[in-house]
Each structure stands twice: as structure tokens, then as C-alpha cells.
Chain A
Amino acid sequence: MGKGWCLFFLFWPVAAVASCAMAPFVNWSFPYDNAQAASNLGIRIDGLFYLILVITAIVFIGTQAVLVYALWRSVNNREKRAMHIHGNHKLELIWSIIPGVILLFLSIYQMNIWADFRIKKYFPEAAVKAPLAEVTARQFEWRFRYPAIGKKLQQKPQSDDLYSVNELHVPFGKPVLIQLRSDDVQHSFFLPALRVKQDALPGLQIPVWFEANKPGIYDLVCAELCGWGHYKMKAHVIVESDGEYQKYLKNLTQKQFYDGLGKIASKDSSRESEAAEK
């Protein structure tokens, strides 16, 4: 019976490791096609993740293997009595210092990424100078306010600002900064593809920067419970070339100041419906 139980306790770590190993091949890893982040910072974060994954995997396999081996040994212990030992100073020192060093290394290693990501001093200058848009989260949608073409984003709404709902257009290949705020409760601006997440705090305006490095349509979701419709806060971030982005802004301007007469220039994307023109 003892062996059976040892196998039982061996089985599940093996299953866990096996399922982790096959995760990238069955789409259980990071989201989107090739599980790669769509920003350079995201790729660095992924790198950190994989580093921790390797370390923890080694520790996991090691401890579980030793555990099962110890179990197997002590179940099949033929001695009359167990080993009489109260501890070992050297061992304690070894297994305190080694993990301590690894953990300290990890915490120092990642500081740069965090600083680049969030500390204001290290924000890319170009992005700070001309914020792309103001993102306002409210129950239960995302509202975006862009400055008029050629103008800078102001703290207060301007009469020529451009507005859109649940669809943020972003040019790729250059860092952009958004001003994140909330109209009512707490929300969280979560862009899984870019590994960006920042809570929107009512009463504060929080700058968030990111740089998408390839075009595409990415999901923007809310990651902080904001009420019954939390799951409904579904939006897209559309990353496109600078030219297309400018075209989009032009189109948006035309649409927003449409007076019911005349024609609107051809639609920039097929996703816009006819309904929006009516």
C-alpha cells in the first residue's frame, strides 16, 4: 500500500509539470496567437516571468521529488525505530542562504523593468509631452477623449475634442501616454496583450504609457470589480500605423461635426457600421 501512496503523491506533480509543459502548444499560455507580448516592455516582463518559471519549476520538481523519495524511504524503513535527530545547523544555514540569495537576486533584477514601466522619471519623453488621449472608465464602458488634430490634450474638455466609446486607436512603434481616470467607481485598465494594467482611481488622473510594436486589434478589459456589469466592460485597442491613425482621427472629426448634410469621407475600417452615420 505504501508504494501506491508514494505513486499517488508522485503522480500529481508529474501531471502538473506535464500540463505546464504542454501549455504553450494547446493555447494555455499567454493570450493571442504566439503568446508573445505586443510591446517590448511586455516581452521583458515575459522574460522575467519565464526566469521565475524556470526557477520555481526546478524548486517544484526538486522538492516534490525529495518529498516522494523521503516518503518512500520512511515507509519502507526496516529499522526498529526512526532516526533520532533534532536538526542540523549547517543544513538550516544552507537552505536559508541559497533561497535567500535567489530571492534577493530576483527582486533586484526586476527593479529596472518596474522603473521603466511605472516610475514617472523614466517615462519616454515624447509620450509625456503629448498624451494621446484621456481614458475615462465608467460603469460599464470605456470612453476616450482625443485632442483635436494638431492640438494638445488639455486637462479640461475642449469643444473640439474628439470622443469615442469602447474603441481606442493607437499608433504603433512609438510610446504613447494615456491619462486614466474614472467617472464613478474603481476600474482597471487591463491590456493583456501588452501586459499593461493600471487601476483607475476616482479623483485621480493616472498617466500610463505603453508602446505597441505590432499592429493588431487587442482586447481591453476591466480587472477591478466595478459592479454587476464588471464583465461587460469590453473594448478594443486598435494598434495601427501612424498614417492610418491620422486617417482615423480625420474621420472621427468629420463624423463628430456632421450636420446631417453632405457626405462623410469613406470609412477607414469596415468595423464601423452604417448605423453610426445615420
Chain B
Amino acid sequence: MRFGLSRLILLLLVPLISLPGCEQPQVEFVFSKKTNELMPQAAKPVKEALLNHFGNPFALTQFEGLPTDFGDIQGTVKSVEPSEKDQPLIRFHVTGLENTYHKLQGLPLKWTSGKGQGQVLRIKSYKYETSTVAVEKSAEITPQAGDTFLVECVRLQQGRDLYNRHCMHCHGMSGEGTGPTSRYLNPPPRDFRLGIYKYTSTKPTKKAQNADLARTVKEGIAGTYMPSFKLLTDDEVSAIVNYVVWLSIRGETEKKMVDELFQEYSKEELAERTSEEGGETKEEVLEELKDFMEEDFPDTVEFATSSVADAWEEANLEDSVVVPREPRVADTPESRERGRKLYLSERTKCATCHGPQGRGNGTATQDFWTNPVTNQKYPDRGLHDIWGNQLSPRDLHRGIYRGGRRPIDSYRRLFSGIKGTPMPAFGGSLSDQELWDLVNYVMSLPYDGNR
């Protein structure tokens, strides 16, 4: 009797500890706050479009036309395992996947020959050691030996796995910058979804180059919690950058679509439009939305993705990089003095933010600033970046250079500004000589004991 009891309890506990590790977690990319502020009827097509084009973290989707290395791999069915009627999966051995990434679970598999040509299935499980793929059974597809297929998004998946291990805790599953660890960090982790990166080598209006992002990953950002991942291999870093850019593209696409709809169809706007006496009724608004969705929305999606993709492609071109026309002016006391004068002058107004001594305590830090997005004043004093975080101008005496400590880095900061922040671009207004003088002055500050 007593052993019956203990066995029973043991048996009851077994399912509790049975390892659920093999199951793919159901995780979804999050949508931006603005998307969720749309009317549900307007938000739905946006979300559907994003889901169709980008999928979910554990079910990535290929979308042609993006400057992303998806990494399709061609494979051939070698033999098909016989399976029972009631088994939901069909397994087959393949060739061609031996030298690729070893985790392919969840990826789309597109048949390129055989009965199911053109059909796409998700890989339900994949064993690298035996090269066995399992997909769901369906009536139209019966894989035969010799059938060929493409596994899509292999490179993207590799990037995702690396991202989830190294970056996700801070930057979040969707690159939204609110991972579980993010609430501990100051400055907060970057939200990739605006597609704006601070420390780039490109011209003021351009996006970041992949190489810039790779450099940030490798070197870290001094003075912040972004550590250096120097010991990842180049291949791993480029996979991560590939994935991060893809996340950015997803976020920007979403933003563009939502911006198109937000003016007319946000929840707030709906309330306003239907509140007036004799104004529109809810049905009318819905009717209008339906028309818009049918006629214009496909173009909106098309435009959003292609413009974002073009911008990223353009940034990686050779002529987007800021290259000084003249070499660095010799770092002499005279040059520094010229730089100091320039720093204090009305032309640059450096001192308003960074302070007359470069302590980061200029008068601007005491002002109320206007949000360039909403055109409203910020509730608290001081400068803010485009992500809405309060930002203090750099104390130039600390000798910490977030974007790198080479002269060319400082030059580029001055030339292009710091994207997403109030730091302006001086590339147009100052000559190269003047820029270099400023660089020489600023870089001498940490070693200048008296000031």
C-alpha cells in the first residue's frame, strides 16, 4: 500500500520534469506601439503583411528584394523513410546540406522539382548528423528520391541563433531594445526598428554600412554596456549584422506602413472623427478604410519595402562613405588653438551643448527642447535623442570615444553629426582644415590637465 502511494506520486511527477526542450517555442515578433494604436481593422493588414514578408523569430520567411543574405541551400532527397499512416510527419534523408548550418528547424523548404514543385513547407525537425529532414505530411506532396528543394533563410537563421545568444537579452527578440536585461542599462539598448545607428562612416543622410555595424559589434561602444564581441569570428559577426539589418528593415517597413495609415485611422483619430455631431459614422470610416486597403495599400507595402531596401543598399555603396579631402592637419598647438577658437565660435556653437570647457555642461542642457517628431516640448530639460531618451552632451575630458578613438572617427562625427541625436553635421559648413583643427582640439582635451 505504502509503496503504491509513493509510486503513484512519482508517476504524477514525471510529466512535470519531462524535457520539453525539443519543442520550438512559439514566439512572435512584436509590433510597434504605433501599430497597436491603429484601429484594429487598419492594424490587421499591416500585421498580416509583416507576417507574410518576415515571419516570426522561429519561423523566418524569405522576402525577395531585400539587401539581406538569406542563404538558400539546394538539397536533394536521397531516400524517404517509410512512415505509418497516423504519423503526422514524413522523414527523408537528403544530400547537399552537409556543409551548411546545422540548425534548420523551422525554415521554409521549397520544392523545386517533383510532384510538389513550387510548394513551401516548414521543416519540423532536422538532424544534422544523419541529414534527416522531417516535414508535415500533406496530400499534394510526396517526396521521392531525387527530388530537389531549396532550404531558405539558412544564413538568416544562423544570424538569428547568434543574435539570440549574444544580443537578444538586451536588444530584444524583435530588435526593439527591450529585452529582459534592458531595464538595467543606461544608456538603454538601441531600438533597431528605426533603422538609425549613431556611429557610422556614412554621409549625414545615409544609413549605416554593414561594416560600421560589424565594427560596433567587434569593438563595443566604450562607456556603455555594449561590450566588445571581438572573439566572434568574422563570419559570425557578419551573420549577426545581416540579421540585425533585416530586423531594422522589418521595423522600418512597419513604420512606413503605419505612418501612412496613422493620420486617418488611428484609434484616437477614429474617436475624433466620429465624435462630432453629424460627422462621419464608424461605418463610413470603415468603408473608407476598406477602399483604401483594396486600392492603395498594396502599393504602400510595395513602396515601403522597396524604399527601405534601397536606402540600405545605397548606404553600402563606396561613395556613401565620408572620406576627408585633405589629410589630417598636423596636431600642433597652433592647430589646436584654431580648433579652440572654432569650438567657441558662433559658427559651430559647440559650447552651447558641450560647454565652454568641454565638460558637457553647456547652457543647452538646461533648456526645454522640442521633439522633432511630434513638435511638442519635451517634459524635462536637456537634450533628447530620436528614441526619446534623455541625452547628455559628451564630456570631452573623459577620453572615452563611443564611436572610436581614431582621428577619422572624430572627423566623421563632426562631418555627419551623430544620427538620431541633436549633434549636427558640419560637413557642409566647415572646411576640411577647420574640421581637422576641431578634431585636434577635441582630442587634446583629455590630456590637458589644466582645463
Contact = CB atoms under 8 A, between A and B. Distances in A.
Interface of A: 139-141, 143, 157-159, 163, 165-167, 228-229, 232-236, 255-262, 273-276, 278
A255 B218 CA distance: 15
B399 A259 contact: no
| Top 4 closest pairs, chain A to chain B, by CB | A275-B214, A260-B408, A259-B328, A165-B228
B323 A141 contact: no
A259 B447 contact: no
A141 B215 contact: no
B406 interface: yes
Interface string B185-199: 000000000000000
B169 to A, nearest CB: 8
Contacts of A167: 230
Contacts of A229: 225, 227
Given A236-B231, A257-B407, A260-B324, 15 more contacts: A139-B227, A158-B447, A165-B230, A166-B230, A229-B227, A257-B406, A258-B407, A259-B407, A260-B322, A273-B214, A274-B234, A275-B211, A275-B218, A276-B219, A278-B209
B222 interface: yes
Interface residues of B, number: 38
B181 interface: yes
A234 B406 CA distance: 24
B218 A276 contact: yes
B405 A163 contact: yes
B304 interface: no
Contacts of A273: 214, 218, 234, 237
A44 B406 CA distance: 43
A139 B184 CA distance: 12
Given A228-B184, A276-B215, A256 B443 contact: no
Which of A139, A235, A260, A261 has most B Cβ within 10 Å?
A260
Contacts of A163: 405
B444 interface: yes
Contact of A141 (B227, B321, B407): B227
A80 B237 CA distance: 77
Interface of B: 169, 181, 184, 201, 209, 211-212, 214-215, 218-220, 222, 225, 227-228, 230-231, 234, 237, 321-324, 327-328, 399, 405-408, 411-412, 436, 443-444, 446-447
Contacts of A143: 222
A207 B308 CA distance: 52
A140 B209 CA distance: 26
28 contacts: A140-B227, A143-B222, A157-B399, A157-B447, A159-B444, A159-B447, A163-B405, A165-B219, A166-B220, A166-B228, A167-B230, A229-B227, A233-B227, A236-B230, A256-B406, A258-B407, A259-B327, A259-B408, A259-B436, A260-B324, A262-B327, A273-B237, A274-B234, A275-B218, A276-B218, A278-B209, A278-B215, A278-B321
A139 B220 contact: no
Which of A236, A256, A262, A273 has most B Cβ within 10 Å?
A273
Contacts of B181: 228
Which of A236, A255, A274 has most B Cβ within 10 Å?
A274
Contacts of A234: 231
A260 B225 contact: no
Contacts, number: 88
A257 B228 CA distance: 20
A230 B399 CA distance: 25
A278 B406 contact: no
A239 to B, nearest CB: 16
Nearest to A236: B231
Contact of B211 (A166, A257, A262, A278): A278
A232 B225 CA distance: 11
Given A257-B407, A260-B324, A275 B237 contact: yes
Contacts of A228: 169, 181, 184
A104 B22 CA distance: 54
Contacts of A232: 227
A258 B228 contact: no
B137 to A, nearest CB: 42
Nearest to B324: A260
Contacts of B219: 165, 276
Contacts of B212: 275, 278
Contacts of B411: 259-260
Given A259-B328, A259-B408, A276-B219, A139 B211 contact: no
B446 A255 contact: no
Nearest to B329: A259
Given A258-B408, A261-B323, A141 B214 contact: no
Contacts of B324: 259-261
Contacts of A236: 230-231
Contacts of A159: 443-444, 446-447
A55 B327 CA distance: 68
Nearest to A219: B231
Contacts of A158: 447
B330 to A, nearest CB: 11
B231 A166 contact: yes
Given A141-B227, A261-B324, A275-B215, A157 B222 contact: no
B135 to A, nearest CB: 37
Contacts of A233: 227
B223 to A, nearest CB: 9
A258 B215 contact: no
B34 to A, nearest CB: 31
Contacts of A278: 201, 209, 211-212, 215, 321
